Chains A and B, each alone.
Chain A
Amino acid sequence: MTDLILSPNLENADGFYADLVAAHDGLDKADSDALNARLVLVLANHIGNANVLSSALKAATLKDT
């Protein structure tokens, strides 16, 4: 079973974060929300593994520590 990685794992943390913010530049709230939703779906498909996705959903609620 693959586990969700919650330790630092990004190859270029600052770079990714800057890109993420920049992707929203100039978008209104509705377009920004839509972009985030599409991004979540693209990433979820890349992960694919049901166990990792379910753990990620739980981790994002910040209630499971």
Chain B
Amino acid sequence: MNKIFEVPLYAYQRSPDQDTASSVRHKVIVIGAGPVGLAAAIDLAQKGVPVVVLDDNDKVSFGSRAICFSQRSLEIADRLGAGGKLVDKGVLWDAGKVFFDNRQVYEFHLQPDAGYAHPAFINLQQYYFEKALVERVRELQAEGAPIEIRGQNKVEAVGTHNDHVKLEVETPEGPYNVEAEWLIACDGANSPTRRMLGLDFEGRVFEDNFLIADVVMQADFPTERWFWFDPPFNRGQSALLHKQPDNVWRIDLQLGRDIDPEQEKQPENVIPRLKAMLGEEINFELEWVSIYTFQCRRMERFRHGRVLFAGDSAHQVSPFGARGANSGLQDTDNLCWKLKMVIDGEAPELLLESYNRERVEAADENIRMSTLSTEFITPKSDMSRLLRDAVLDLSEHYAFARPLVNSGRLSTPCAYSGSSLSSADALTGPEITRPGSACPDAPLGEEFLLPKLAGKFTLLTIDADAPDSLKEGDVTATRLALSVKDDLTLELKRRYLGEAPGAVYLIRPDQHVAARRDTFEENAFRQAIRRATGKE
């Protein structure tokens, strides 16, 4: 079947760093070649920052793992040069069924949200995502970009200093030392970097175990999301069936707290459960089974001097709502432009503090949303269960109860509400584009808005005047002049103006709104640029 797990994608090769008398110092080292580490490296390399990725393995991750990539992740992948490939390969779905106890309570069809380049989400095995990013790394290398992945390079020790980090790296040919001005730790939930620095996760909201299975079915099984609350084959817990590319179906069976993982993983225990879910007559082949244990928690801080934590190494949530890999990609999206400016001396180191604050806010939001879903799926008190069951029973008869059914709320980008980088809102405009928010996409005839806002500060004007560019210190914001007439569907107006006749937006390189006003006022926007770059 799928041999992608077995092929080394970045096989070990001796690096010149292993033969030097003194340690070589790199600008940035990323630990971990998962989706988050690869995204960080590509983002930096595209900005011209030299980067080396170290990974203790040399292949994509085994098993499907993260499977649901959100619209925001696809938009980020676009800027990394890999978005189209992902959407082409991924599975789109818009229908689902919800089961409670032994019956179906309702089915739904999602109405596609018009006016976005990308769907709300796609299903795609993590290994395809990683493979697409590794291919992008190879393209960048062919163009001469300063990016390198070193397979079978396991970091054994981390030493932190004021202006650099020292690493001891183990390879098949023995250890070597290497240094980095900045280290980004994307080494997953069990982050060795975190452990070696003596840092730990704070909080521990709850923990749970999931049996995760990839099943291959040739059957013409429908492309739908099926979610079970309290089914006969998994009493008191939940179950989820999801379609992925290549006729692979992902099954998540919640197991609860006190379980024996080895016992649960045995095929004689797994197969009867799957038959109960899928129906006795369905033929399937078990491709991969794993027990996933998680705790809902985060690090107290994501930045420790020259070490920055991103993705699962910094925060963990339940799988409900696809908030793991998706939030990790938003971490690097938030981090890389700031790191680039600090490295180039265009912004003070203080700017990196805003990475910590903004992404901690996002992690807290994800943990909160994930906790609400978990409470609905496995109610903790008798009354909570009574209300949950009432919602599900009502949902079978009345549409009003269906929005209350919570089997995970899909990851959407966090609007950084109290960010020190944002200026006070000076437009009576839509809530979704207030300062701190990620810019929603909008159609512009045959094109879309977001690709025009890529990777730099932009002064977006909609039926408003402004100079072609505004230079404040080392930072230049370039104008993008639009009119509501550029979008006959009026989504641009709806998302960016509301009732306002015109607007001027200052947009950050990660496509979050830094400031907005009804008209251009030079001093206000100069100040907004200073704020957005940590200078005020």
Asked if B390 contacts A34 (CB within 8 A), the reply is yes
Cβ of B339 to closest chain A Cβ, rounded Å? 41
Complex formed: what's the CA distance from A45 to B400 in Å?
7
Cβ contact within 8 Å between A37 and B386: yes
Number of A-B pairs, beta carbon distance below 8 Å = 25
Instruction: Say yes or no: A34-B400 contact (C-beta < 8 A), given A41-B394, A42-B394.
Output: no
Q: How far is the CB of A29 from chain B (nearest CB, A)?
A: 11
Q: Which residues of B contact A41 (CB under 8 A)?
A: 387, 390-391, 394, 401, 404
Q: From A48, which residue of chain B is reached at the shortest CB distance?
A: B400
Q: In the assembly, what is the distance between CA of A42 and CA of B393, in Å?
A: 12
User: For residue B382, which residue of chain A has the nearest CB?
Assistant: A33
- Residues of chain B within 8 A (CB-CB) of A37 are 386-387, 389-390
Q: Which residue of B lies closest to A38 (CB)?
A: B390
B475 to chain A, nearest CB (A): 41
**What is the predominant secondary structure among interface residues of chain B facing chain A?**
helix
Chain A residue at minimum C-beta to C-beta distance from B387: A37
> When each residue 389-410 of chain B gets 1 if its CB lies under 8 Å from chain A and 0 otherwise, what string results?
1110110001011001000000
Number of A interface residues at 8 Å Cβ cutoff, please give it.
8
A34 to B390, CA, bound (A): 6
Residues A33 and B386 in contact in the complex (CB < 8 Å), given A41-B401, A41-B404, A45-B400: yes
A40 to chain B: which residues have CB within 8 Å? Answer: 387, 390
Query: A41-B401, A41-B404, A45-B400 are known contacts. Are A34 and B394 too (CB-CB below 8 A)?
Result: no
Nearest B residue to A30, CB-CB: B386
| B-facing residues in A2-33 (Cβ within 8 Å) | 33
- C-alpha gap A34/B404 in the complex (Å): 16
Tell me the bound Cα distance from A45 to B398 in angstroms.
Answer: 11
Instruction: Give every chain B residue within 8 A of A33 (Cβ-Cβ).
Output: 386
CA distance in complex: A34, B115 (Å): 42
**B residues near A34, Cβ cutoff 8 Å:** 386, 389-390, 393
Q: Which residues of B contact A38 (CB under 8 A)?
A: 390, 393-394
Tell me the complex Cα distance, A40–B389, Å.
13
CA distance A41 to B387 in the complex (A): 8
Mark out the residues of chain B between 214 and 251 whose CB falls within 8 Å of any chain A CB in the assembled complex.
Answer: none
* Cα–Cα, bound, A38→B400 (Å): 12
Complex interface: chain B residues within 8 A of A45 (CB):
400-401
Chain A residue numbers with a CB within 8 Å of B391 are 41
Shortest Cβ distance from residue B503 to the other chain A in the assembled complex, whole angstroms:
28
In chain B, positions 371-390 with a C-beta closer than 8 Å to chain A are 386-387, 389-390
> Inside 8 A of B398's CB, which chain A residues have their CB?
42
- Measured between beta carbons, the chain A residues less than 8 angstroms from B401 are 41, 45
Interface residues of B in 472-507 (CB under 8 A from A): none
Contacts of A42 in B (CB 8 A): 394, 398, 400
Query: Which residue on chain A has the smallest CB distance to residue B390?
Result: A37
A34 to B401, CA, bound (A): 15
Distance A42 CA – B395 CA, assembled complex (angstroms): 11
- Smallest CB gap from A35: residue in B: B390
Give chain A nearest CB distance to B381 CB in angstroms. 13
* CA of A45 to CA of B402, assembled, Å: 11
A27 CA to B401 CA, complexed, in Å: 23
Minimum CB–CB distance from B395 to chain A (whole Å) comes to 10
- Determine the residue in chain A with the shortest Cβ distance to B385: A37
**The 6 nearest A-B residue pairs measured at CB:** A37-B390, A45-B400, A38-B390, A37-B386, A37-B387, A33-B386
Q: List 19 A-B contacts (CB under 8 A).
A: A33-B386, A34-B386, A34-B389, A34-B390, A34-B393, A37-B386, A37-B389, A37-B390, A38-B393, A38-B394, A40-B387, A40-B390, A41-B390, A41-B391, A41-B394, A42-B394, A42-B398, A42-B400, A45-B400
Q: A40-B387, A41-B387 are known contacts; what are 17 more A-B pairs with Cβ within 8 Å?
A: A34-B386, A34-B389, A34-B390, A34-B393, A37-B386, A37-B387, A37-B389, A38-B394, A40-B390, A41-B390, A41-B391, A41-B394, A41-B401, A41-B404, A42-B400, A45-B400, A45-B401
